[in-house]
Amino acid sequence: MSEDPNEKELSEDDVNGEEVKEEAKEATPPPMDLEVEEIEVEQVAADEGPGGDFSGTSEAASALLGKGKMSEKDDKTFGMLAHLLGGLTSFVGPMVIWLIKKDESPFVEDQGKEALNFQITVLIALVASMILSAVPFLGCVAMLLSPAIGVAGLVFAILACLKANEGTAYRYPYALRLIK
């Protein structure tokens, strides 16, 4: 027989498996205790911060659909209306919807606040753009930035309007959460 230098001679302990079992015990990591924390859905939605959930879904607010005094259809309609009026009337429309319907529907309250916060953010950005337009050399950039802010505000409002009409709570990207 030819001897291979890589072959290991087996002892009686190896044949019996004693030594192999000892090595396996040492190589196996101890079991880990995995504990899963339960987090309330509403807490997760509150912790989203600026930007929130870009995908247009929020389980916390969507779970509130139809939980108030209004029907699911009315919830969807007023949630959609808050976003649509935001795109057309700036912060006035969402503020009116939110103030009138916030006690009747948790879904409309959430979507009204979201639309109002976003429209206030857009208004702040437009005012900052106007102020920058008075500064030499930055005025050119600000003049291009103002229409872009307006168009982006309208596009996001339409996207939110469509999602709210589906019954899905929408989270705007880059909205300041001023009204909680």
Question: Where are the domains positioned within the chain?
Answer: 51-180
Return the H-helix or E-strand segment holding 148.
helix 138-166
Tens digit of pLDDT for each residue in 160-172? 999 999 999 999 9
For residue 47, CA distances in Å to 58, 124, 146, 157 come to: 12, 23, 30, 22
Name the DSSP class of 167.
Answer: T
User: What's this model's pTM, rounded to 2 decimal places?
Assistant: 0.64
- Contact between 168 and 57 (Cβ < 8 Å): yes
Which residue's entry shows tokens 């920058």? 132
**57 compared with 125, residue with greater pLDDT:** 125
Tens digit of pLDDT for each residue in 103-118? 998 999 999 999 999 9
Structure tokens at 174: 């880059």
